[in-house]
Amino acid sequence: MTFDLAASTAAVETAESFIAQATAQLASYTVVDGRMSVKDLDKHQVFAYDLAHAAAGVAGCRSMLRYATYGDFEAKLAGFYIAETIADLVSRIIGRETEWGVSASALSPAADYVEHYRSNDFIESFYPEVISHRGGDAHLDDSFELVQDTFRRFGDDKIKPHAEHVHRTNGDVPQEIIDGLAEIGGFGLSVPEEYGGFADGSENDYMGMVVATEELARASLCLGGSLITRPEILTRALVKGGTEEQKQQWLPQIAAAEVLSAVAVTEPDYGSDVAGVKVSATPTDGGYLINGVKTWCTFAGRANVLMVLARTDPDRSAGHKGLSILLVEKPVQDGHVFEFAQDGGGKMEGRAIDTIGYRGMHSYEVAFDNWFVPSDNLVGGKGGLGRGFYLQMEGFENGRLQTAARAVGVMQAAFEAAVEYGDNRMVFGLPVSGYQLTKAKIVRMAALIQAGRQFAYDVAKMMAAGEGLLEASMVKAYVCRTSEWVTREAMQIHGGMGYAEEYDVSRYFVDARVLSIFEGADETLCLRVIARRLADRVK
């Protein structure tokens, strides 16, 4: 058998057919009278969750087929990823074939392909190529290579020297990083050119954001990759639904980092169930009074403005249609606690929530007590009343793609650390990288990272064309889970030193853990978005 692009394509088509059959089975359980029944979906949560991740992995295979056309090394890396993905399908289906409505035998046409690319002989022979190619070139065009080089150099020179200190002390993001990132355009990647940013309305906008985010996250998830997420979300909401006056006022300041933003959506009793939020915005003379508590409001201390999703319709039966977005201005405060008061009696208090990783940004619980917000700060003006949920989702969909890029950056850093340590650490007379098991881990890391990267590139192009909302959720769910395995194994390759804070790899591990939680918790994303939309496509 010749293992070429045609063989890889056939293997992917086998996997896609398997997913299609399983999806049809899920739809038969959950679609009633042409509409998805959440109640029925919840009766099959385990199936739906596994199917969502399996479908995301298979979607990544398509991106790797494109990557395979760049050369022999790329074709081999794609082959390994595709084989791993099909093997994962087999592991999910065994013992559950009746519920899934498809037999493991449906994957048998790809059996020889999988056996070849997952064999120990292939892995050991391929390992030197993985090392010499440093995991594989991204194959960007010249303009995006310039973006990659610019943000990589900034990450190496300006972010990395601070990353470990901020992590270990749970300190604040140094102002020099914020200023430097503003100078190279990091905060204006999605701000339209007419408002002082760099977005020209082409697919380059999304691709530039993905490439830049990966490189910043490679240096540090919190000090780099996540620093531009909140302005990205606010920018998308303003561009989509803000008034012209609001765009003129806020977008140039966001692009120049004159305004730093935070997003206040989650509440103590409402996490991913955004439509259930209770924080209220009650009309008063000249504006609104905000009351209630938000939590997991990242960067709230340093932010000049909070993007608050609040209930402007007191009738809770209105659900998500009663929500609006208000731009809540506040003073800047370093540290872990803040408390502010307005002349009219309004109060705002915040406290940082200690976390195992993702330090430096600080996620706050923020309490509002009759905090006044002028009516001019209602996004969209009167026309924005009741549109908050939709504008928030506009930012979140893009945020999911950006989070996938952050995950790729963290994985890349972990991969590089594992390769370096594995080559230099001697165990029983051999370097750690000299053992078969280490080689298998490194090869799998390289394949997973490249698949996540290429999938993110493809989703960026889809979103630029007004499509890809399902795929944005898929790449986020899949790559963020993948990052946990990659960083864990990179830490394991370091042995005892991986558990020590002496090496950066421990930071990568605890940082990666948050990725499956924010921007849509993994379970909610898989059940309420991916599985649901997959089943809807069957109708």
Number of residues assigned to the chain: 539
Long-range CB contacts for residues 279-284, cutoff 8 Å, separation at least 24: 279/308, 279/309, 279/310, 279/311, 279/368, 280/310, 280/311, 280/312, 280/314, 281/308, 281/310, 281/311, 281/312, 281/324, 281/326, 281/373, 282/314, 283/312, 284/372
Distance between CA atoms of residues 222 and 232, nearest Å: 15
State the SS3 of 502-526: CCCHHHHHHHHHHHHCCCCCHHHHH
Among 210, 329, 175, smallest CA distance to 261 is for 329
Handedness of CA 181, 184, 189, 192 (dihedral sign): positive
Distance between CA atoms of residues 313 and 324, nearest Å: 9
Residue 459, Cβ density class (10 Å: 0-12 exposed, 13-18 middle, ≥19 buried):
buried
Quote the longest CA-to-CA distance of the chain.
78
Residue with tokens 């790729």: 408
**Rounded to the nearest 5°, which phi and psi values hold at 426?**
-95, 130
Among 70, 65, 66, smallest CA distance to 82 is for 65
Which amino acid is located at 350 in the chain?
A: G
Distance between CA atoms of residues 410 and 505, nearest Å: 10
Residue 238: CB atoms within 10 Å? 27
Q: Which residues pair with 263 in a beta bridge?
A: 307
Q: What is the DSSP code (8-state) at residue 528?
A: I
112 three-state secondary structure: helix
Q: What are the CA-CA distances from residue 462 to residues 15, 205, 459 (Å)?
A: 22, 12, 5
DSSP secondary structure, 4-72, as one string: SHHHHHHHHHHHHHHHHHHHHHHHHHHEETTEE-HHHHGGGHHHHHHHHHHHHHHHHHHHHHHHHTT-H
Q: Where are the beta strands (DSSP E) in 225-322?
A: 261-264, 280-284, 287-298, 305-311
Residues recognised as catalytic: 519
- Asked if 235 and 251 touch (Cβ cutoff 8 Å), the reply is yes
Distance between CA atoms of residues 78 and 65, nearest Å: 6
Distance between CA atoms of residues 128 and 74, nearest Å: 14
